[in-house]
Amino acid sequence: MSAYHPLTEQEAIDIARSLSDFFPQDAQLESREIGDGNLNLVFHISDPASGKSLIMKQALPYAKVVGESWPLTLDRARIESEALITEAKLAPGLVPQVYHYDAGLALTIMEDLSDHVIMRRGLMENGRYPKFASDISDFMAATLFYTSDLGLNQQEKKRKVGQFINPELCKITEDLIFDDPYADSPNNNFEAAIADEARALQTDAQLHLEVALLRQKFLTEAQALLHGDLHTGSIFITPESTKVIDPEFAFFGPIGFDVGAVIANFLLNYAGQEHWSEADAREDYREYLLGSIVDIWEQFEQKFRKHWNDYGVDRLANSTPGYQDIYMKRLLQDTIGFAGCKMVRRIVGLSHVADIDKIPDDAKREKAQRLALGIGKSLIKLNRHAESIQELVNVVRKGHGGQ
């Protein structure tokens, strides 16, 4: 096992050469560090002559976005590679193939997906992805059902809970999503123009109660193996293909946290559509985003129920009339609540999204931020009362004057 140190581009080439048979012996390899995320190094290694390439992702011992003052476990690289391998078995074709994992270097070597685009970028360019709702619902229904007590032997599940204990990464979520945005925290990051909204978040008692209840679920409900950070920056996409990357936040948590993450990031893009000058184009794309959200939820629910009906392992859960309907309604409610939390954190918390931050016009950016916050807060307040996904759609439409 190699001793840990952050790799240089040249060292990444040397490691790539040592992988038996991947590149031709005499290949003239090129190496580029392309990491644009908050946490890790990512090297793209290619052989222009053969057209072959791979990705090396290496954890740093701190959070890159903040610096060495925020130490972070290297074990997240193990969690990520083991989660990718688990997901590949349950949802074949929907994650990059892992070629090799080096525990000493906290390094995962995997399939290069550069022929795809990061979905956040795709949505910012108003791309449409006809297979996405089907693919992401396949991914979520399979990975979440077959790692839950409904679809996995319960002794085996408890062993897997141990495998995916991920306290430091969970702590980031507990603080950045469920705590900081509702307090006067030094981690927060918002524009002066919306300081009134940020302050209001700190004193909204109804909101605090709902967030505390959602946080409690995140802390205690080991329902299934989550991806844990399923935003549109963790999804590579083309019109024909979907690949989910970056599960370093994986742990056993509440299912709605993953489904809510996807929906929240569609809604953040929805709010970010403010930058479009032509109202017709903007509203047309917003309808596409809302329609996709409904498709994602409905297909997820239908597929999750089918896995359950066909392969459920829990006698009581399988045979008790009414149990499945109550379970699915709670999943919907959790999804809506977590989606709201994930929207709020991206406007006032430490880490933002380009869909909104990159809007160049100050007034339009402020409008988008206020819209996202308004929708986020309404979803959090709706969560325990929701009966159908249509109520989420109604909240969103109402959020910008029912246009």
Ligand X SMILES: Nc1ncnc2c1ncn2[C@@H]1O[C@H](COP(=O)(O)OP(=O)(O)O)[C@@H](O)[C@H]1O
Q: Report the binding-site residues for ATP.
A: 40, 57, 111-113, 246-248
Binding-site partner at residue 65 among ligand X, ligand LNRAV4D5, none, CB < 5 to 8 Å by type: ligand LNRAV4D5
Q: How far apart are CA 230 and CA 246, in angstroms?
A: 8
Q: Which residue reads 């880490």 in tokens?
A: 351
247 counts as binding ligand LNRAV4D5 under rule CB under 6 A: no
Give the interface segment with ligand LNRAV4D5, choosing from 33-41, 47-55, 113-121, 194-202 (CB under 6 A).
Answer: 33-41
Are the C-beta atoms of 133 and 127 separated by less than 8 Å?
no
Q: Which residue reads 């498709």 in tokens?
A: 295
181 counts as binding ligand LNRAV4D5 under rule CB under 6 A: no
- Known binding residues: 40, 57, 111-113, 229, 246-248, 345
Are the C-beta atoms of 6 and 62 separated by less than 8 Å?
no
Residue 67 dihedral angles phi and psi, to the nearest 5°: 120, -175
183 counts as binding ligand LNRAV4D5 under rule CB under 6 A: no
Give the interface segment with ligand LNRAV4D5, choosing from 32-40, 54-62, 108-116, 323-331 (CB under 6 A).
Answer: 32-40
Q: Single out the residue of 40, 108, 173, 292 in contact with ligand X (rule: CB under 6 A).
A: 40
399 counts as binding ligand LNRAV4D5 under rule CB under 6 A: no
DSSP state of 4: P
Are the C-beta atoms of 85 and 201 separated by less than 8 Å?
no
63 counts as binding ligand LNRAV4D5 under rule CB under 6 A: yes
| 125-144: contacts with ligand X (CB under 6 A) | none
Q: How far apart are CA 32 and CA 48, in angstroms?
A: 13
172 counts as binding ligand LNRAV4D5 under rule CB under 6 A: yes
> Count of H helices and E strands in the chain?
15, 12
Q: How far apart are CA 170 and CA 391, in angstroms?
A: 30
Binding to ligand X by CB under 6 A, coded x per residue (else -) over 55-94, reads x-x-------------------------------------
Q: Which tokens is 318 given?
A: 């399988």
Binding-site partner at residue 368 among ligand LNRAV4D5, ligand X, none, CB < 5 to 8 Å by type: none
38 counts as binding ligand LNRAV4D5 under rule CB under 6 A: yes
Tell me which residue of 358, 331, 351, 312 sits closest to 125, measured CA to CA. 358
| 216-255: contacts with ligand X (CB under 6 A) | 234, 245-246, 248
Tell me which residue of 133, 170, 197 sits closest to 253, measured CA to CA. 170
Per the rule left: phi > 0, alpha: psi between -120 and 50, beta: everything else, 222 is beta
187 counts as binding ligand LNRAV4D5 under rule CB under 6 A: no
**Shortest Å, Cβ 169 to ligand LNRAV4D5:** 8
Per the rule left: phi > 0, alpha: psi between -120 and 50, beta: everything else, 107 is beta
Q: Single out the residue of 1, 3, 20, 36 in contact with ligand X (rule: CB under 6 A).
A: 36
Helices (H), 73-131: 75-90, 119-124
Binding-site partner at residue 269 among ligand LNRAV4D5, ligand X, none, CB < 5 to 8 Å by type: none
Residue 43 dihedral angles phi and psi, to the nearest 5°: -105, 135
Which residues contact ligand LNRAV4D5 (rule: CB under 6 A)? 37-39, 63, 65, 172, 176, 229, 233-234, 246, 350-351
Which residues contact ligand X (rule: CB under 6 A)? 34-40, 42, 55, 57, 96, 110-114, 118, 234, 245-246, 248
